[in-house]
Structure 1
Amino acid sequence: MAGFSVDIIQVRDTSFNIGLKFGQYIHHKPLLKVLDSATRPEIDYKSYHSIFSGLAPHLLDELEGLAYGLNVPTEKATALFSGYDLPKTEAMGCSAIVTKDYYVRNYDFSPVLYDGIFSLVQPEEAFATAGYNLQVLGRHDGINQAGLALGLHFVSNHGYSKGISPWTAIRMVLDTCSTVDQAIQLLKEIPHAACYNFSLGDRNGHIAVVEAGPEKVMVRSGEAALSCVNHFQNESLANQNRVSIDGSLKRNDHLQALTQKHLTHEEMFAHFKDRHSPLFFTDYDDFFGTLHTLSYGFEDSRIMTTIAQSDQVLDFNFADWVNGENLPDHKLSGKI
């Protein structure tokens, strides 16, 4: 086993200055070279700018700040961090349960393509958010100050096209939407590059799974609980699933059984993060190892999160952070 860590970054500022600070943070990090090798040298800047201007204009400012912090042209920063027009990514696995009381999920992939950042960001121009960064600007998953929680789940590259990555879509939703209904509407407007599920819930007790791809977006709703894994469950989208979804089906059966046990937030979080759980994986070399567990209680604004095989749990009230109470923690340490 090897050591594994995530930095905790807290920033309250304008979107430009948030980008500037993240640019300065990653300037000499290995992450920069990883992103440079995983993205295109340049993208269609006009198309990107048009989409972002209409959906989340403040992120244009953050990208400008990233460029300034790295001392690179804006066009280069856009290719590196925007999540627009990316080459296809490998399959990733994620499992989530959403109830009217809480949201809990695991993110499974490879540490090679992992930012290793948990950020709490409070821009002047958007909602405050907490979540795990992906491609710096984007988020694997997260929560915002309005009490909205959501995360991504890879399905397939069926119909892959020039469009927005799911982690950038997550960021757009967290920054601008306060309810599940608003999130669904925005996810229907975003031009998706690939097929992904988005699991989401809000403090009003509304929960849903958005099954989204370049060709169509469908919604699964629920009153008590919903499970979400790595295949579309809507029959009209079944032809867009990967050929082999046995693992995803097995995890979904396990999640469905869990919903019948009526576990508390703490109990469900403990089950997801337990390395002996059917939801915890260690196939890191094959892009399927559990990297982090994230949960949120809609009633009490409680975030609990940890990384792979860590004895450390970050447990705090997000509403208190939004009101100015910074966390004393700076790093999460675990093992893979």
Structure 2
Amino acid sequence: MSIFEVKVLQIRDSSFNIGFRTGKIIQNNPIIRALEMITKPEIEYENMKSIYLSFAPHLLDELQGLSEGLGISLNKAASLFSGYDVQKTEAMGCSTILTKDYYVRNYDFGPSLYDGNFSLVQPDHAFASAGYNLQAIGRHDGVNEQGVVLGLHFVSNKDYSVGLSPWTSIRMILDTCSTTDDAIQMLKEIPHSACYNFSIGDRNGDIAVVEATPTKISVRREPDFLSCVNHFQVKELQPNNRMLNDNSIKRNDYLQSLRKSNLTYREMFNQFSTSESPLFLTDYDQLFGTLHTFSYSFKDEKILTSIAKGEQIIDINLQEWIQGNNLKETKLTGKIEN
């Protein structure tokens, strides 16, 4: 068992300075070396730039800030952090329940490819948001000041294409979208690189799952309850599923068994975060271990989040944070099974 830590970053500034300050914070983080090993030395910068200009141009300023904060070229920063033309990712879990009242999920992967930062950011020209960083700019999951919450779920690399990573797509949605419908529309337009599910909800309790491939998008909607894991459930997209998805099916069956449980927000959070839960995974060597639990209450407009086997749960009112009330927490501490 080893100690596992996540920093809590709180930045209110221009997009450039958010990038610059993030760069200074992560400059000695082992994730930089890990990203150098799994990203391409160069990408087609102009192609990446055109996508950013279409969906979230301010993130180009954040990318510039990252490059200057780290003292590297803009092209190098784009390769490391833009989420464009990223090489194939294997494994990766993630389980989510969405109801009209709340959104609760676990992110499952390996600690060596985990940024280890939870960021609350308030840019000058985009919505404020809170979420777990992935490739610095991207987010595993998060919620914005408009009450839009979402997360990613890897499905497969079928029809893999040069495009945008789901974690960058999530950040673009958090920064610019006000409703679930807005998020769905953006996901229909973004060029996706691989097959992913996106679980989405908003402050009106409007919930949806977008099942996305590089060539086709389908949307699942129900008024009160949805589950989302690591396989497509829409029949026409099922040929894109991995052959070995028994674990995903098993987790989905368990999530569906909770449909009529009437669990409160905190009770459902505990269903995900406790290490005894069928949703808490420990196969970290195979990139399949639970790293954090993230949730949002549509009614109370509050975030609950914790990391693997951590006793500390952060309770965040994002609106209060936007008004200038900083969190006292600077890090989250948990444990990872070796």
Q: TM-score w.r.t. structure 2 length?
A: 0.99
- Quick one: distance in 1 between partners of 2:262 and 2:155? 27
Alignment match, 1:150: 150
Asked if 1:63 corresponds to 2:63, the answer is yes
**Residues 102 and 205 in structure 2, CA contact (< 8 A), matched pair in contact too:** no
Q: Which AA in structure 1 matches 2:26?
A: I
Alignment match, 2:4: 4
Alignment match, 2:111: 111
SS of the residue corresponding to residue 175 of structure 1 reads helix
Alignment match, 2:310: 310
> In terms of mean alpha carbon deviation, does 25-34 or 152-161 score higher?
25-34
1:271-310 alpha-carbon deviations (Å, 9 max, x no partner): 1001000000110011110000001001111110000001
Asked if 1:121 corresponds to 2:126, the answer is no
**Residues 160 and 194 in structure 2, CA contact (< 8 A), matched pair in contact too:** yes
TM alignment of 1:124-135, pairs within 5 A: 124-135=124-135
SS of the residue corresponding to residue 107 of structure 2 reads strand
Alignment match, 2:280: 280
Alignment match, 1:268: 268
1:116-156 alpha-carbon deviations (Å, 9 max, x no partner): 00000000010000000000000000000000100000000
Detail structure 1 runs of 4+ shifted over 3 Å in the superposition: none
Alignment match, 2:327: 327
Alignment match, 2:218: 218
Alignment match, 1:51: 51
SS of the residue corresponding to residue 219 of structure 1 reads strand
Q: TM-score w.r.t. structure 1 length?
A: 0.99
CA RMSD of the aligned region, Å?
A: 0.6
Asked if 1:36 corresponds to 2:36, the answer is yes
- Quick one: distance in 2 between partners of 1:258 and 1:212? 26
Unaligned runs of 5+ in 2: none
- Quick one: distance in 2 between partners of 1:55 and 1:302? 27
Unaligned runs of 5+ in 1: none
SS of the residue corresponding to residue 309 of structure 1 reads coil
- Quick one: distance in 1 between partners of 2:128 and 2:286? 34
- Quick one: distance in 1 between partners of 2:199 and 2:262? 19
SS of the residue corresponding to residue 289 of structure 1 reads strand
Percent identity, aligned pairs only, is 61
Return the offset for 1:316.
2.0
Alignment match, 2:24: 24
Alignment match, 1:299: 299
- Quick one: distance in 1 between partners of 2:155 and 2:256? 19
Return the offset for 1:247.
1.0
**Residues 102 and 296 in structure 2, CA contact (< 8 A), matched pair in contact too:** yes
Alignment match, 1:168: 168
SS of the residue corresponding to residue 159 of structure 1 reads coil
Would you say how many aligned residue pairs link Structure 1 and Structure 2? 336
Asked if 1:159 corresponds to 2:156, the answer is no
Q: Which AA in structure 2 matches 1:54?
A: S
Alignment match, 1:85: 85
- Quick one: distance in 1 between partners of 2:126 and 2:133? 17
- Quick one: distance in 1 between partners of 2:40 and 2:271? 39
Return the offset for 1:244.
1.5
Q: Which AA in structure 1 matches 2:231?
A: H
1:15-68 alpha-carbon deviations (Å, 9 max, x no partner): 000000011111122121111111100000110011111111000000000011
**Residues 91 and 286 in structure 2, CA contact (< 8 A), matched pair in contact too:** no
